[in-house]
Amino acid sequence: MVKNNFSLLSLNRRTFLGHCGMGLGTAALWYLIGRDVVAAPLQGVLKAPHHPPKARRIIYLFMSGGPSQHDLFDYKPLLNKMNGQDLPASVRMGQRLTGMSAHQATLPLAGSIFKFARHGKSGAWISELMPWTAKVVDELCFVKSMYTEAINHDPAITFFQTGSQLAGRPSMGAWLSYGLGSANENLPAFVVLISKDRIDQPLYARLWGNGFLPSTHQGVQFRSGKEPVLYLDNPDGISRESRRKMLDRLAELHALQQEQTGDPEIATRIAQYEMAYRMQISVPEVMDLAKEPSRTFELYGPEARQPGTFAANCLLARRLAERDVRFIQLYHPGWDHHGGLPHGIRRQCKDVDRACYALLTDLKQRGLLDDTLVVWGGEFGRTNYSQGKLTATDYGRDHHPRCFTMWLAGGGVKPGLTYGATDEFGYNVIEDPVHVHDMQATLLHLLGIDHERLTYRFQGRYYRLTDVHGTVIKAILA
């Protein structure tokens, strides 16, 4: 069991002086050593991974809103055959529905209007909505038997990101930062990118927050526009040299405050100020796509030239991966199709299909896919019946937590594999169920972490990302 990180930067005054048996001279030494520590990459609580890692970093492509597996990956011809007929009670088995469709007079089965075909040597079924993804299908590991208990967006997203439906726990990226630290002294270990103009459900900053972990482990959102990181630039009239002098004096004052209070968050604050100072150079460099060759934009498509699009964020994710950022979280909202699904999902797939293909291709060409784990999926799936009126060309789908599809690629997973299965109605898992905590345990495992051993003591108990659950999905490991 891992206890709280025990380092010079986390000791309070009484403990530190007691360990060293010296007086204020040692306190001054703490300050000098502390300055050296914050100039180095952030160190994790684990001196070494629990076992050899297959991946060094994660790029998590979170499809916020809940993509419809029935229209993308989980082909169910029976739904087309029985289109318009009521969902059999023997299939539903009294499972709860949301308030948005629970009071419908009928629950008419809705077969996808999109064509499916098998692709690659693996023969995986892919919808016509994803022609670019179909080209790299043999790189993908599909998990078609995901399930969750959460049936509404906020608790479901929070569950995937933090391991709990209740707000306040550390996010996955924060846990990785806490455990493994950073491999780059000039960039955060955990970076967040959100697609512009696609918000349909709110994405709160707590989804990439540190929870009760030290605040240095929280994710940092990079935005499109003139100010990628808010409040990072110096105000007008303040030079970089002046900022350096101010930080030096501020660190001295913080050291005095540390002497008086013993608060370990003071050391965290110093480290964050120093990181922000270095990011004034590193962030503009990583966000500047001007030096990317034209062939890169030909790969990712014209939208990659538009800051804030999913394609541009995928390109930035590759650049961050090259710089060894540990956890790169992309959010692409807009998948909540209660009505007008055919129109809405076409738009969404146009946003992400080519960009995902390009990201995987780009990583592979640069030799990064072997140690970069790419994850694609949302917080739950969609129902096999239509919410609202079903017509020949239009339908909607409600939230469905009982089964949905995710895919993974690279970093230690078996390519060309389809794991798990749902029934012929696409309503229940019938083979190899995978819970949210199982997926989280597997992602940590691929980065060399035993999910049961990375813990943090808070309010009298030890917490972990997977709480008291989770089993590594060994069958998908390469």
- pLDDT tens-place string over residues 257-277: 888 888 877 888 888 888 889
Number of domains in the chain: 1
For residue 42, pLDDT beyond 60: yes
8 A C-beta contact, residue 173 and residue 419 = no
Q: What pLDDT, on a 0 to 100 scale, did the predictor assign at position 1?
A: 55
pLDDT digits 0-9 by tens, 336-366: 999 999 999 999 999 999 999 999 999 999 9
pLDDT higher than threshold 90 for residue 221: yes
> Distance between CA atoms of 429 and 258, rounded to whole angstroms?
54
Confidence band for 33, pLDDT divided at 50, 70 and 90: very low
Query: Could you count the other beta carbons within 10 Å of the beta carbon of residue 424?
Result: 14
- Which tokens go with 66? 């809940």
Residue 1, domain member (yes or no): no
- H-helix or E-strand containing 69? none
Q: Is residue 327 part of a domain?
A: yes
In a domain, 3, yes or no: no
Q: Which residue has the tokens 């002098």?
A: 245
Each residue's pLDDT tens digit, 365-414: 999 999 999 999 999 999 999 999 999 999 999 999 999 999 999 999 99
Has residue 193 been placed in a domain? Answer: yes
201 pLDDT band, cuts 50/70/90, is: confident
Query: For residue range 102-139, what is the model confidence (pLDDT) as tens digits?
Result: 999 999 999 999 999 999 999 999 999 999 999 999 99
Beta strands in 196-273, from DSSP E residues, in sequence order: 220-221
The two tokens of residue 268 are: 């965290």
**Is 90 contained in some domain?**
yes
151: domain CATH number? Answer: 3.40.720
300 class by beta-carbon count within 10 Å (0-12 exposed, 13-18 middle, 19+ buried):
buried
Q: By C-alpha distance, which of 258, 299, 366 is closest to 17?
A: 258
- In this prediction, residue 32 has a pLDDT band, given cuts at 50, 70 and 90, of very low
Among 55, 46, 279, 276, smallest CA distance to 181 is for 46
* Residue 314, SS3 per DSSP: helix
Rounded to an integer, the average pLDDT of 282-288 is 94
**More confident position, 312 or 273:** 312
Q: How far is residue 54's CA from residue 132's CA, in Å, rounded to a whole number?
A: 26
Please name the residue that has the structure tokens 């100010």.
Answer: 227
Quick one: pLDDT at residue 202?
87
118 part of a folded domain: yes
| Pairwise CA distance, residues 93 & 430, whole Å | 14
Domain range for residue 228?
8-476
Question: Going by DSSP bridges, is the β-strand pair 124-127/116-119 parallel, antiparallel, or unpaired?
Answer: antiparallel
- 228 lies in some domain: yes
pLDDT of residue 40: 62
The predicted model gives 76-86 an average pLDDT of 98
9 pLDDT above the threshold of 50: no
Find, among 157, 123, 161, the residue nearest to 140 by Cα. 123
The whole-number pLDDT of residue 314 equals 98
- Contact at 8 Å (CB) between 89 and 383? no
What's the confidence (pLDDT) of residue 74? 98
Average pLDDT score over the chain: 91
Q: Give the pLDDT of residue 39.
A: 54
pLDDT top residue among 151 and 255: 151
Nearest to 299 by CA among 340, 242, 359, 248: 359
Question: Counting Cβ atoms within 10 Å, is residue 166 exposed (0-12), middle (13-18) or buried (19+)?
Answer: exposed
The whole-angstrom distance between residue 429's C-alpha and the CA centroid of its chain comes to 24
93 burial level (CB within 10 Å; 0-12, 13-18, 19+): exposed
Cα separation of 170 and 188, whole Å?
16
Percent of the chain past pLDDT 70, that is, above it, reads 92
- In sequence order, the 6+-apart residues with CB closer than 8 A to the CB of 405 are 69, 72, 73, 74, 142, 143, 144, 146, 377, 381
Identity of residue 400: H
